[in-house]
């Protein structure tokens, strides 16, 4: 009888994996490294810098940081309409109905939009401003807003990791047939990275598919070293 692989939870939460990320280069789409506030792509040599995330910068850890502050933002933006989201028509003062939703944009960001008043029929141009946001549709780094490079689809869902260290912990957890949780000073906690994984990843019946995805991602990451 084959002995089951044992895994004892370390208790590390998502923040324990630091500020190193493997992301998709915003210029060529290849694998890029984000480390100490610097984005570097070995394929196309594209670089970017944000002093907020550089431990050697005087701006490191500035309070009230927002996406896009201190450096370029390659993630999503949402528009803000002049006069709020229910502006009044300049001609008849009626509330203006429009279908300009707060959807995300990652490329073209117009500075103006035309809206027709449904009451008087007048067409007016309204100014737009844009705010950088952290995308929720796909995992991305908080410094430049770039999508993770280590993402792999399976028939059950999406596997992703911010860096090789996190991916290795994920694989070790999934491969184990015996999983032991660690009790903290304040009792049993459910805040660690592996304890918060989706149920389908933890399921033994999906182990082979998840491990295959992890191995494929590890192979991709190896080419970047």
**pLDDT tens digits, 107-146:** 677 888 888 888 888 888 878 888 888 876 679 998 999 9
**pLDDT tens digits, 84-112:** 666 778 888 887 766 555 455 456 778 88
pLDDT bucket at 190, cuts 50 / 70 / 90: low
d(C-alpha 223, C-alpha 104), whole Å: 32
Give the pTM. 0.79
Domain ranges in the chain are 6-73+137-222, 76-133
d(C-alpha 50, C-alpha 132), whole Å: 15
d(C-alpha 169, C-alpha 122), whole Å: 60
pLDDT of residue 2: 47
User: Between residues 78 and 153, which one has the greater pLDDT?
Assistant: 153
User: Between residues 59 and 12, which one has the greater pLDDT?
Assistant: 59
Order of strands, sheet of 47-49, starting from the edge strand that comes earlier in the sequence: 21-24, 31-35, 38-40, 47-49
Residue 78 main-chain phi, psi, to 5 deg: -125, 145
Whether residue 189 is predicted with pLDDT greater than 70 in this model: the reply is no
pLDDT of residue 116: 82
């Amino acid at each position: 009888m084959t002995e089951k692989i044992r895994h004892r939870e370390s208790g590390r939460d998502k923040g324990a994996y630091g500020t190193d990320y493997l992301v998709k280069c915003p210029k060529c789409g290849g694998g890029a490294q984000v480390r100490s506030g610097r984005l570097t792509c070995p394929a196309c040599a594209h670089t970017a810098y944000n002093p907020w995330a550089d431990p050697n910068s005087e701006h490191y850890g500035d309070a009230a940081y927002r996406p896009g502050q201190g450096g370029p933002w390659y993630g999503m933006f949402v528009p803000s309409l002049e006069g709020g989201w229910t502006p009044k028509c300049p001609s008849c003062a009626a509330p203006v109905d429009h279908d300009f939703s707060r959807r995300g944009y990652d490329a073209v960001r117009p500075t103006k939009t035309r809206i027709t008043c449904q009451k008087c029929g007048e067409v007016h141009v309204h100014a737009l401003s844009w705010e950088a946001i952290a995308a929720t549709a796909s995992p991305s780094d908080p410094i430049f807003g770039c999508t993770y490079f280590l993402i792999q689809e399976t028939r059950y869902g999406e596997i992703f990791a911010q860096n090789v260290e996190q991916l290795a912990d994920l694989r070790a957890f999934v491969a184990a047939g015996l999983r032991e949780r660690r009790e903290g000073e304040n009792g049993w906690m459910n805040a660690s990275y592996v304890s918060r994984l989706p149920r389908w990843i933890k399921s033994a019946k999906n182990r082979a598919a998840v491990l295959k995805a992890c191995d494929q991602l590890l192979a991709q990451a190896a080419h970047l070293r």
